Amino acid sequence: MDRDVDELLRRALKLPPEARAALAGGLIDSLDETVDEDAQQAWEAEVSRRVNELREGRVALIPWPEVRRRIAER
């Protein structure tokens, strides 16, 4: 890495976690130059379906500690 990039990384790592996550997401998004409209529509439909299932009480959320425990057991 060149000096400017090293400095930028050093400064970015001092940001709070939420700001680092937003920065990382923005950088990753910038790498995806093309958008697959079919995939985008499919994801939007999937998210909408899952939100509706939650609202209607057909599914329940699992707390993160429980998910982590289940993963560790595998």
CB 20 within 8 A of CB 13: yes
For residues 52 and 56, give the distance between their C-alpha atoms in angstroms, rounded to a whole number: 6
> Would you give per-residue pLDDT tens digits along the chain (74 residues)?
689 999 999 999 999 999 999 999 999 989 988 878 899 899 999 999 999 999 999 999 999 999 999 999 99
Q: Is 60 helix (H, G, I), strand (E, B) or coil?
A: coil
